Amino acid sequence: MPPSKPLHLFLILTVTINLCSAELPPFREAPAFRNGRECPKTTWSSLDKQIHNPSIIHIAMTLDTAYLRGSIAGVYSILHHATCPENIVFHFITTHSHGAKLTRAITTTFPYLNFHVYYFNTNLVKGKISSSIRRALDQPLNYARIYLADLLPAGVRRIIYFDSDLIVVDDVINLWSINLRGHVLGAPEYCHANFTNYFTSKFWSNPVFTASLKGRSRTPCYFNTGVMVIDLWKWREGKYTEKLEHWMRIQKRYRIYELGSLPPFLLVFGGDVEGMEHRWNQHGLGGDNLEGLCRALHPGPVSLLHWSGKGKPWLRIDSKKPCPMDSLWAPYDLFRYPSLFSDS
């Protein structure tokens, strides 16, 4: 009887091959969304290097296999509530490993969508990422938002960045048209949150590090980087990618925070953010980063629902353990469930 070790190796190899070659989940085709009569007729080309057209709304999102279902629900919700959906251009950031399959999934689900795909070079963050409290936060693509100014064409002056675990329930033009008042970045701020909790004692005990927060126009407040409006021209002028990378290198050496790509944004932009209404990021619906327990909405109006945290609505729905707020995400889920009956 042959030894068992080769059998174990065979099983491991088989499982690995199946996982790597697994097809993406199937999705229903979304309806075609058309502009209202009041929408300006306009087009945009990535070849327009220096032309800024304010009638075109640019939205950036990442694409990966784990969050594809969330990304598709997010895109569907944006189009569904937009007055001028044909004036929206999506910019999807992905990696080479699954880029072709992910692009095909978007094309077949949204045949009429105006979108472009950009490949993120994960070597840019290799050696700069430190482990955090949740594995999903350590993925290189989670840091792609830092490099939007380098990835997107120069003609894209302003971009809305959206995470892949949210839905929009308002016309996105209302977010696009906010006045940044000279700031590089706009986002809802939460000044009641304890800013000090986002950094370790190694940060607060080092006067060189804490000096970076002094001299700002106002006290830094927490903001969630899953919803941002960014002036890419000002970003490039101010070399903000390099400033964020600076803190990533310090983190790698001194361990000054625990939470993925968020803290560098707080250190670079805290106190210099154009605050937006909280309705544009009802975040935390995924619970905390450890257990992902159910949470209710914050008080006030809602334009965007964000399942930041460990719990994702599609996973909870499939496990038959949804949270109450997950029912608000479900209508935008285009996942095609297998039929209970076979044609044969």
Instruction: List, run by run, the mean pLDDT of 10-residue segments along the chain (344 residues).
Output: 39 34 84 94 76 89 96 98 97 94 97 96 86 69 96 94 98 97 97 88 95 87 96 97 96 88 94 96 89 89 96 95 96 86 48
**CA–CA gap between residue 298 and residue 285 (Å, rounded):** 10
pLDDT value for 44: 84
> Do strands 304-306 and 227-231 pair parallel, antiparallel, or not at all (unpaired)?
unpaired
pLDDT value for 15: 32
pTM of the model: 0.90
pLDDT value for 165: 97
pLDDT value for 216: 82
Hey, which bits of the chain come out as E strands?
A: 57-62, 88-94, 115-119, 158-162, 166-168, 185-190, 222-223, 227-231, 274-276, 304-306
pLDDT value for 11: 34
pLDDT value for 179: 97
**Residue 308: which residues within 8 A CB-CB, separation 6 or more?**
163, 165, 224, 226, 283, 284, 285, 286
pLDDT value for 170: 98
3-state secondary structure of 15: helix
Triad 243, 246, 250: Cα angle to 5° = 150
pLDDT value for 314: 97
pLDDT value for 135: 65
pLDDT value for 160: 98
Q: How does DSSP classify residue 56?
A: S
pLDDT value for 14: 32
**CA–CA gap between residue 231 and residue 161 (Å, rounded):** 11
pLDDT value for 341: 54
